[in-house]
Every structure is written in structure tokens, then in C-alpha cells.
């Protein structure tokens, strides 16, 4: 018998757990499933512009060797220019680390930081890799509340109340997955102040920094707090629609001296994996310097904007369903009013929805939300598909009881 490492005992990643497993079984039986469960643009016909792909193709022959462990200089320079253009100062290619997606860099950044029992402040709801990776690295994710009645901004007083002598870092996911919130400047400044007062490393996941609706503004925390050590993460998966390339970056800003030892650890881990996939790194300069602009998809008449609006209207027309209209990212996070829909097990509800209506959504507790009254709907699909899926959800909810 081969048993599992005990360090995995507390690691949960339900968004790819039993609901997805059931979807696979139904597909194997020949059922067609409408999948609105993953923020993967390409299967919905949202592709990267040809110019990016052509640059990568032309670079393949020259990509046969390992690169610098931090990634190719050309791409790290492009990331440096990107943040400099956006008002973040003090970025240099030496402090840019490329990775096989933000996912790899999330795990590396925490592996280099945490000792057993160290605490990390993580939003609830969160993109659950953050919570899972903290546990994997022996730490404890302490969840701070993001409040629906504050347009899902973090409840700053709650964040402050959770700091203990074991707290090492503060995770900020902005724009947020799964809520679609884009945090106000005031909220961000208050969060940064907590980090400043308690000497916390700020880990800012800003992978959706360009996916914004209705004129909402995204602030890079690295711009707002140049005096703090901050790790900002971003990548090619969403704005540039290259999720399969597994290509992302981590940028260190602020004073280096207080985190010099930590950075040595990060370098060590970067060296141990040799380097990130080299051909995929070539997409970075092509996209960031190439003037690839996602805003046509986000403005009125643009595909993502239309899909968000249609999905939001259809969802909120279902009796007992309310939803914050997302200001960013690719997700709707509707609430099922417990007075109308009494759901005690939201994962069970998603499995029942799947079995009865062949629609795959993700349950709110999968994002470390403590209550069982939310669902996440990805709005990448064309309007007709969203209408079909949300229609089926309405039919399901009309009679569903737990
Ligand atoms: N961070 C957030 C907030 C995400 O939503 C996702 C993917 O959905 C990731 C990171 C993973 O990004 P990558 O594809 O670069 O690993």
C-alpha cells in the first residue's frame, strides 16, 4: 500500500473535486455538460491574437536550452516595462521571476516563507489555491471576510482583528476570483497599513488587473505602497488568453534588505526547478509590448461585457437569487437567499444540478466561504450558452429542496 503524505491531509481544492469528478462520469456516459466552472478562455473561443502566437512559434527553435532560472531576460524586461508604464516604480528585471503560471509562483512564494504553524491572512472567499498552498507549506490560512454588502471589499477591521504574533503575510486578490470585486483605493490603503504596522509580507495576486468593467479602476498595491516589500503576481492566462501556456510572473518591489534572506530562499526554489517552460516565456514580450489590448472585449458591445450583463440579468431574474454585478474578472457569484432556497450542502446542490440539468457550476464553500448560499458562474461562454445554462439553473431551483 502506498499512503499519501500527511502534509496533504488539510489541503483542500474542492473546485476540482467531487463535482468535477461527477461531471467526468456523466460525460463518459455520453451526456453533454455545459461547463461554467473554470476560467479558461480558449475553450470558449477566446484566443490570443495571432501576433503573440507567431512570436512564440518563431522562438521555438531557439528555446531548446534551459533559460536563466528566473526566466529569459527579454520577458523579464517586458514585465518591468509593463509595471513601470502602470505607475509602479523601482521594478528591475533582477526582481522579476517567471513561472509556469501564477499557480507555480504562489506555491513557491509560500514554500520559501512558511514555517509550521505560521499564519497567512487569506480572503474569504478566495481563489482556493492560496488556502491550499498555505496548508501544503505547513502554514495556517486565517480567512478574513470580504463583505457582500461592501461590494465584496475586505472588511478591514476584521482583517486587523486576525493578526497574531504568528502572522507572516497578507494575501490580496484584486480583482477577485470568485466575487469579481475590484477593491477601492481606500480599502487597499487600509490593508497596506495593517501590513505596515505588523511587518507582513504582502502577496498581491493581480492576474485580472486589466479585466475591468464600467470604468472601474484597478490600483496596484505596489504603486500604493512603495515603502513595503510586496510580491505582485500576474500572467498570461486571462487577459492574454493563454492559460495552457502556463506562463506567469512574480515581481518584487519595495525595500529588498528586510527580505533579503527570503529572496535567497525564493531563488533557491527557482533554481531547483531549473527554469520555467522557455517557449511560453516568449509570449510575454509579444503580449506586453505588442499593444495587445483586451478593452474591446470589455466595453459596451464587447463580448465579455455582453456576456457578463446577460448572465447577471438572467441570474437576478430567478426568484431568490441576488448578485453583485462584477466590476472585474470573469465570474458571477450569486447568492441564493436562504429564506427561499434552504441549502445546507452546496457541493451536494452542485452535484444534483449536474445530474438533473447537466450544468457544471462551482459551490461557494469551494472558495472557502463559510456559508452554503453561493455559487460561482464563469461568464466566458457565449450568450446563448449562458442563457441555456442559467435557464436550466432556474428550472432546477424552482423545485429543488434539501
Ligand atoms: N490566481 C487567480 C486569482 C486565479 O483566478 C487563477 C486562475 O483561475 C490563478 C491565479 C492561476 O493562474 P495561472 O493560470 O497563471 O496559474
- Please write the tens of the pLDDT for every residue from 100-148: 999 999 999 999 999 999 999 999 999 999 999 999 999 999 999 999 9
250 Cβ below 6 A of ligand 1: no
- Rounded to whole angstroms, how far apart are CA atoms 166 and 187? 23
- With b for 16 or more beta-carbon neighbours within 10 A and e for fewer, the 298-311 pattern comes to beeeebbbbbbbbb
134 Cβ below 6 A of ligand 1: no
- What lies within 8 Å, CB to CB, of 379 at 6+ separation is 36, 304, 307, 308, 311, 330, 331, 332, 386
Last residue of a domain, one of 237, 261, 288: 288
Question: Model confidence over 268-320: pLDDT tens digits?
Answer: 999 999 999 999 999 999 999 987 899 999 999 999 999 999 999 999 999 99
Band (pLDDT 50/70/90 cuts) for residue 10 is confident
Closest protein CA for atom 8 of ligand 1: 39
Query: What 3-state DSSP class applies to 228?
Result: coil
Note the pLDDT of residue 17: 86
- With b for 16 or more beta-carbon neighbours within 10 A and e for fewer, the 90-125 pattern comes to ebebebbbbbbbbbbbbbbbbbbbbeeebbbbbbbb
CB atoms within 10 A of CB 261: 9
For residue 11, give the nearest of 171, 170, 133 by alpha carbon: 133
183 shares a domain with 81: yes
Note the pLDDT of residue 290: 82
Query: Which helix (H) or strand (E) is 311 found in, with range?
Result: helix 303-316
Domain-located, residue 1: no
Residue 15 has pLDDT above 80, yes or no: no
Residue 219 has pLDDT above 80, yes or no: yes
Band (pLDDT 50/70/90 cuts) for residue 355 is very high
161 shares a domain with 220: yes
- E runs forming strands in 65-152: 96-99, 119-124, 140-147
Q: What is the CATH number of the domain that holds 355?
A: 3.90.1150.10
277 shares a domain with 135: yes
156 shares a domain with 139: yes
207 Cβ below 6 A of ligand 1: yes
- What lies within 8 Å, CB to CB, of 274 at 6+ separation is 66, 69
Question: Rounded to a whole number, what is the largest CA-CA distance in the chain?
Answer: 61
Note the pLDDT of residue 122: 98
For residue 398, give the nearest of 351, 347, 345, 356 by alpha carbon: 356
Q: Which domain holds residue 160?
A: 50-288
- What lies within 8 Å, CB to CB, of 84 at 6+ separation is 91
Domain-located, residue 72: yes
Last residue of a domain, one of 272, 288, 304: 288
Note the pLDDT of residue 252: 98
For residue 44, give the nearest of 369, 386, 392 by alpha carbon: 386
Ligand 1 atom showing the smallest separation from residue 104 Cα: 16
Ligand 1 atom showing the smallest separation from residue 173 Cα: 3
- Counted residue by residue, the chain has a size of 402
Note the pLDDT of residue 344: 95
Take residue 344 and report the three cell numbers written for it. 445546507
Question: Model confidence over 36-93: pLDDT tens digits?
Answer: 999 999 999 999 999 999 999 999 999 999 999 999 999 999 999 999 999 999 999 9
Any idea which residue has 527580505 for its cell?
259
Last residue of a domain, one of 288, 318, 344: 288
Q: Is the pTM of this model over 0.95?
A: yes
- With b for 16 or more beta-carbon neighbours within 10 A and e for fewer, the 143-181 pattern comes to bbbbebebbbbbbbeebbebbeeebbbbbbbbbbbbbbb
Note the pLDDT of residue 96: 98
- Distance from Cα 40 to the centre of ligand 1, integer Å: 10
- In total, how many domains does the chain have? 2
330 shares a domain with 278: no
Residue 158 has pLDDT above 90, yes or no: yes
130 shares a domain with 225: yes
Amino acid at each position: 500500500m502506498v499512503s499519501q503524505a500527511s502534509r496533504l491531509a488539510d489541503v483542500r481544492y474542492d473546485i476540482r473535486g467531487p463535482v468535477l469528478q461527477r461531471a467526468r462520469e456523466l460525460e463518459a456516459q455520453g451526456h453533454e455538460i455545459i461547463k461554467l466552472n473554470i476560467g479558461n478562455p480558449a475553450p470558449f473561443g477566446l484566443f490570443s491574437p495571432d501576433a503573440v502566437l507567431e512570436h512564440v512559434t518563431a522562438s521555438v527553435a531557439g528555446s531548446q536550452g534551459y533559460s536563466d532560472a528566473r526566466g529569459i531576460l527579454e520577458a523579464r524586461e517586458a514585465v518591468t516595462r509593463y509595471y513601470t508604464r502602470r505607475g509602479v516604480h523601482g521594478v528591475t528585471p533582477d526582481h522579476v521571476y517567471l513561472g509556469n503560471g501564477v499557480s507555480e509562483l504562489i506555491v513557491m512564494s509560500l514554500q520559501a516563507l512558511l514555517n509550521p504553524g505560521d499564519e497567512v491572512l487569506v480572503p474569504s472567499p478566495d481563489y482556493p489555491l492560496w488556502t491550499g498552498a498555505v496548508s501544503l507549506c505547513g502554514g495556517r490560512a486565517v480567512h478574513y471576510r470580504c463583505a457582500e454588502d461592501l461590494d465584496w471589499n475586505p472588511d478591514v477591521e476584521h482583517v486587523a482583528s486576525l493578526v497574531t504574533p504568528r502572522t507572516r503575510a497578507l494575501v490580496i486578490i484584486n480583482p477577485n476570483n470568485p466575487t469579481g470585486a475590484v477593491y477601492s483605493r481606500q480599502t487597499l490603503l487600509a490593508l497596506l497599513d495593517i501590513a505596515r504596522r505588523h511587518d507582513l509580507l504582502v502577496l498581491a495576486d493581480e492576474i485580472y488587473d486589466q479585466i475591468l468593467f464600467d470604468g472601474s479602476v484597478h490600483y496596484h498595491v505596489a504603486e500604493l505602497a512603495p515603502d513595503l516589500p510586496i510580491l505582485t503576481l500576474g500572467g498570461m492566462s486571462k487577459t492574454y488568453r493563454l492559460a495552457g501556456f502556463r506562463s506567469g510572473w512574480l515581481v518584487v518591489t519595495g525595500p529588498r534588505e528586510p527580505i533579503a534572506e527570503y529572496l535567497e530562499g525564493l531563488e533557491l526554489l527557482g533554481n531547483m526547478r531549473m527554469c520555467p517552460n522557455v517557449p511560453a516565456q516568449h509570449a510575454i514580450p509579444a503580449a506586453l509590448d505588442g499593444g495587445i489590448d483586451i478593452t474591446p472585449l470589455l466595453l459596451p458591445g464587447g463580448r465579455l461585457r455582453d456576456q457578463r450583463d446577460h448572465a447577471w440579468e438572467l441570474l437576478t431574474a430567478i426568484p431568490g437569487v441576488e448578485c453583485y454585478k462584477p466590476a472585474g474578472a470573469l465570474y458571477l457569484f450569486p447568492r441564493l437567499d436562504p429564506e427561499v432556497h434552504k441549502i445546507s450542502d452546496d457541493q451536494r446542490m452542485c452535484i444534483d444540478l449536474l445530474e438533473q440539468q447537466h450544468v457544471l457550476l462551482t459551490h461557494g464553500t469551494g472558495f472557502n466561504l463559510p456559508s452554503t448560499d453561493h455559487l460561482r458562474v464563469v461568464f466566458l461562454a457565449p450568450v446563448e450558452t449562458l442563457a441555456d445554462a442559467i435557464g436550466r439553473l432556474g428550472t432546477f431551483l424552482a423545485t429543488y429542496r434539501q
